[in-house]
């Protein structure tokens, strides 16, 4: 924890009568301290809590005065092309994507009003990385199926990979992902 002598009025907000830095400034402060994985998790958590939105975050970063952490945040975005996974499982999935030399997807993107783990808007592929922790109850599984049905109805292809597949069968995940991306790209090229 640190305290600035005076918070920039344009970069502060009041939470429970306490002046605090705005979320973007806080992320810049964290960028000066945290390793990439933890920083990515902090960005995703701020996004989940609707404190920041990724498209606006880049513009807001450009508006920040130069200080420790700002350059690192910008570099993280440039290097990962906004591929900031929320979980360790999603980080593993992205390693598989990179090892297959496939284009990086958008992460924690929106598709048909739902947040999805990964999206390739062209050619229209959504991938979900399902951990047993969050997808084990019948209610969660039914909600997942409704989301998948909404995607299919909108013309998207959805692939779901389990924790076991991502962790212990990366070659299977790589082959399946590459085959579907190639099939969808071929189909979209034929439609054009």
- What's the structural domain count of the chain? 2
Residue 96 lies in a domain: yes
Using CA atoms, how far apart are residues 13 and 11, in angstroms rounded to an integer? Answer: 7
**Residue 38 and residue 17 share a domain:** yes
Residue 3 lies in a domain: no
The predicted model scores a pTM of 0.57
**Rounded to an integer, what is the distance from CA 87 to the centroid of its chain?**
9
The residue segments making up the domain with residue 166 are 88-191
How confident is the prediction along the chain (192 residues), in pLDDT tens digits per residue? 445 545 566 666 677 888 777 888 888 888 888 887 777 777 767 766 777 766 667 777 777 777 788 888 877 766 554 445 567 788 889 889 999 999 889 887 888 888 888 999 888 999 998 876 655 677 777 888 888 899 999 999 999 998 889 989 999 999 999 999 999 988 765 555
- Site of tokens 């979209």: 188
**Residue 180 and residue 147 share a domain:** yes
Task: Spell out the residues 6+ positions from residue 159 whose beta carbon is closer than 8 angstroms to its own.
Answer: 125, 126, 127, 128, 176, 177, 180
Query: What CATH number is given to the structural domain containing 140?
Result: 3.40.960.10
**Residue 116 and residue 66 share a domain:** no
**Residue 183 and residue 101 share a domain:** yes
């Amino acid at each position: 924890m640190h305290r600035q002598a005076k918070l920039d009025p344009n970069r502060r907000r009041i939470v429970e009568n306490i002046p605090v830095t705005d979320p973007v400034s806080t992320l810049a402060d964290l960028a000066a301290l945290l390793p990439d994985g933890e920083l990515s998790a902090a960005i995703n958590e701020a996004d989940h809590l609707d404190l920041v939105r990724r498209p606006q975050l880049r513009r807001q970063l450009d508006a920040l005065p130069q200080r420790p952490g700002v350059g690192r945040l910008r570099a993280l975005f440039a290097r990962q092309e906004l591929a900031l996974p929320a979980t360790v499982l999603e980080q593993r999935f992205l390693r598989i994507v990179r090892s297959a030399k496939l284009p990086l997807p958008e992460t924690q993107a929106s598709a048909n009003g739902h947040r999805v783990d990964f999206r390739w808007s062209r050619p229209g592929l959504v991938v979900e990385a399902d951990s047993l922790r969050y997808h084990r109850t019948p209610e969660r599984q039914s909600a997942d199926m409704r989301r998948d049905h909404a995607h299919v109805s909108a013309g998207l292809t959805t692939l779901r990979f389990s924790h076991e597949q991502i962790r212990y069968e990366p070659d299977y995940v790589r082959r399946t992902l590459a085959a579907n991306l190639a099939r969808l790209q071929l189909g979209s090229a034929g439609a054009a």
